[in-house]
A and B are shown apart, each in its own frame.
Chain A
């Protein structure tokens, strides 16, 4: 055990030096860091509790998603039948099913054939499983989305939501925000370095806004008064004007059918009304959107239409002429800031479902700075105390183990830096705790050596025996300890996870430093000093 061939020696030294090297960037400030070469720039991320910021845990309402898709399916069916000039009763939604009854017997076959096209798989080109199950029962055709398709939708929606949040909160990609999907329908959002008020604003303006933009025609077949007293005609509904807009307080009767929506937008920008300083939001549609918009405006010159954001009317202009270019502007009581915010919302797209806040935490930045300071002090003291203890208890060999300990810490820091891990206050506690635990392996080895020396073995054999006999025990005890750490990593989130990660890395690293590195140091010392007595 005490013989190291040169290659092994070099490898061990290299690993130790490398860890010191990669841990080092964490000691520099950001400015100094900028002067270093690229590969030296990896640092550990700082958790929220250390740098301050906001943390949100959101739940996307997948029930909403389900309902939206089925409603959209019903709309599509209605449109489809209308286009085919099939007479039908309005499609109803029963549970997960869309049901439509065909009035004329001779049209049933035709309708069925047409509607069967909906079963085409939208997502999975390669699998044979259908998106929607289309069945026929007498004069009623039923369409029901499959579980697989719904789950697919949800996964996609989650992915989209993550992207949308990223675009809204960090469009330039400069802030170190963390957005992660958690579980089936949750999203974790972390925005560092914002104050309590900023965090509130982010939630209200950027997260809690589905930003569903739709253009709908005003239904003039009935007056708003009549619709409010009675009930709106089929296919239409009452909409409220949005607060803080020109339409505030007004009610509109709009067709439910969406002419074009935010999904068809190619761009949205904050701009100014021609020849004025009034801020507006200009937008541009894509090809199909422009065509549809052109058709509808051409057919409805002189009639009003409404721009609806998140279910509220923000603008209701009259179509003066057909809009063929696919561009337009939204005006209202906008400031430059609010127009810009709306433009960002529109550009990032509509959230697939409404987000619900299930947990939130904000940490003030000053508390973060305090935390870092106490963490550093505690770790430093822990190191000093343990070092002192080991030297008193084991003399020279104790000093060897402290060198190994320093490398151990470096390995933890280096690993976290390279993997982009996040350091939290409990994480710092984990590093400090590792110090006490890491020397345990050395204690085991040294105690064993003492026993062997006492039993009369020769120096070399005693040292060898110390290592080999202790080896199995160390593996056993460290592995069981690691089990606890790994399970905690899975259970914990945020700060607690940080603790588990540093502790676990520390345990694994200590297998290397306490055993291998210490062995190397002792072996080298033996060779060059050739002592007669082992100072243990």
Chain B
């Protein structure tokens, strides 16, 4: 069995000297701008919440003959008086997702009981769209449950960020922790902003994606921080900016390889995974890219802004910048 493996192909040369840190001012402004845009978007058009967070009824409807006529369906369902319905294609052209959130549109006038609501709405919709369609599956979320889900989602995101902040502080120094948190919040904000800008469906699975992104991004950041810490100990005399650059360059090939392997898996999921998890996978894919970018261009250079101690041998709290030469 004479089989020898091919020599591995080094994707990233080992001696890159890309001056990452020199970009940090540009990157911080870009990201800051994006963050502001996100906040504005959230305040104006807001997120396109799925029924997970809004409550209501969602029906998957399949056309019995050929592609579904979305415009016609929309007219029929809207005429029922349940407020604006949302109808979109789900995967193949003959399958359609119909969503109504009657509690919103009623303006609180008649808060219907759970089962009445579901029955009424489902029956009326089924009747309105007629024989040409079969209801394949249905979902009903009461507004109390959806409110709770929204609260838990926000709580989970906050808790996770906080937990990670504490862990980094514990393992490194507080400056590192702040840098990490800035990067994390940046990741979440930009992903949420993407969903707001394109009005993509925002439901519980997107929150799952956000938490996954947090996990991935912190993973990335920790690897770089680890190398920075090692180098801080090794090169006590090096200018901070140079040291940060060195650390990022040294970990670059690992970063690239890991990002690529993760993205390959995600792309496979995106192509073959079907419509149900598409939102989830797409969000994670975007988040992985953003997360890597934030670890390299934000979290690490942030240490320059906030200053980090050079002397790791003792327990002195020496903050502030080193007498750095601005040689970048």
Q: Hey, what's the 0/1 contact readout for B232-269 against A, CB within 8 Å counting as 1?
A: 00000000000000000011011001101111111111
Chain B residues with CB under 8 Å of A36's CB are none
Contact (A476, B115) CB under 8 Å given A382-B265, A440-B258, A444-B223 = no
Chain B residues with CB under 8 Å of A481's CB are 215-216, 218-219
Q: Name the segment of B23-31, B34-42, B76-84, B271-279 touching the other chain.
A: B271-279
CA distance A390 to B207 in the complex (A): 30
B136 touches A484 (CB 8 A): no
Contact (A433, B6) CB under 8 Å given A364-B137, A476-B222, A481-B216 = no
Nearest CB on B from A12, distance (A): 23
Nearest CB on A from B31, distance (A): 21
- Interface on chain A toward B: helix, strand, loop, or mixed SS? helix
Contact (A447, B136) CB under 8 Å given A395-B6, A426-B280, A485-B215 = no
Q: Hey, what's the 0/1 contact readout for B131-160 against A, CB within 8 Å counting as 1?
A: 000011111111011000000110110011
Contact (A386, B142) CB under 8 Å given A394-B8, A451-B14, A485-B215 = no
- Does B87 interact with chain A (Cβ within 8 Å)? no
B257 touches A443 (CB 8 A): yes
Chain A residues with CB under 8 Å of B9's CB are 392-393
CA distance A454 to B250 in the complex (A): 13
B273 touches A480 (CB 8 A): no
Which residue of chain A has the shortest Cβ distance to B15 in the bound complex? A454
Nearest CB on B from A500, distance (A): 7
From B7, B223, B276, A473 is in contact (CB under 8 Å) with B223
Chain B residues with CB under 8 Å of A450's CB are 14, 253
B5 touches A399 (CB 8 A): yes
CA distance A244 to B114 in the complex (A): 25
How many B residues face the partner with a CB closer than 8 A? 74
- Does B113 interact with chain A (Cβ within 8 Å)? yes
B208 touches A499 (CB 8 A): yes
A391 touches B5 (CB 8 A): yes
- Does B281 interact with chain A (Cβ within 8 Å)? yes
A359 touches B141 (CB 8 A): yes
B266 touches A433 (CB 8 A): yes
Chain A residues with CB under 8 Å of B124's CB are none
CA distance A395 to B254 in the complex (A): 15
Chain B residues with CB under 8 Å of A425's CB are 273-274, 276-277
**Most chain A Cβ neighbours within 10 Å, of B6, B141, B160, B219:** B219
CA distance A278 to B128 in the complex (A): 40
Chain A residues with CB under 8 Å of B216's CB are 437, 481
Nearest CB on A from B122, distance (A): 9
- Does A358 interact with chain B (Cβ within 8 Å)? yes
A496 touches B208 (CB 8 A): yes
Q: Name the segment of B163-171, B189-197, B304-312, B320-328 touching the other chain.
A: B163-171
A473 touches B159 (CB 8 A): no
B137 touches A381 (CB 8 A): no
A386 touches B264 (CB 8 A): yes
Nearest CB on A from B246, distance (A): 12
- Does B214 interact with chain A (Cβ within 8 Å)? yes
- Does A419 interact with chain B (Cβ within 8 Å)? no
Instruction: Scan residues 423-445 of chain A and give those whose CB is less than 8 A from a CB of chain B.
Output: 425-426, 428-429, 432-433, 435-437, 439-440, 443-444
Contact (A473, B222) CB under 8 Å given A359-B145, A393-B8, A496-B208 = yes
Which residue of chain A has the shortest Cβ distance to B203 in the bound complex? A496
- Does A367 interact with chain B (Cβ within 8 Å)? yes
Instruction: Scan residues 208-231 of chain B and give those whose CB is less than 8 A from a CB of chain A.
Output: 208, 211-212, 214-216, 218-220, 222-223, 226
CA distance A495 to B113 in the complex (A): 26
Contact (A357, B14) CB under 8 Å given A433-B212, A440-B219, A535-B8 = no
Nearest CB on B from A156, distance (A): 24
A436 touches B264 (CB 8 A): yes
Which residue of chain B has the shortest Cβ distance to A53 in the bound complex? B137
**Most chain B Cβ neighbours within 10 Å, of A49, A374, A395:** A374
User: Could you show 20 A-B contacts with beta carbons less than 8 Å apart?
Assistant: A196-B135, A357-B142, A358-B114, A358-B141, A360-B118, A361-B138, A363-B137, A371-B274, A389-B261, A425-B273, A432-B273, A433-B269, A436-B258, A440-B261, A443-B257, A484-B211, A484-B218, A485-B215, A491-B155, A499-B280
18 more A-B residue pairs beyond the given contacts A385-B268, A436-B261, A483-B167, with a C-beta to C-beta distance below 8 A: A360-B139, A364-B137, A381-B272, A382-B265, A386-B265, A396-B5, A432-B268, A433-B212, A436-B262, A436-B265, A437-B262, A439-B258, A440-B261, A443-B258, A444-B254, A451-B14, A479-B167, A496-B207
A residues neighboring B (CB under 8 Å): 49, 57, 196, 203, 208, 356-364, 366-367, 370-371, 374-375, 377-379, 381-382, 385-386, 389-399, 425-426, 428-429, 432-433, 435-437, 439-440, 443-444, 447, 450-451, 454, 472-473, 476-485, 487-488, 490-492, 495-496, 499-500, 503, 535-536
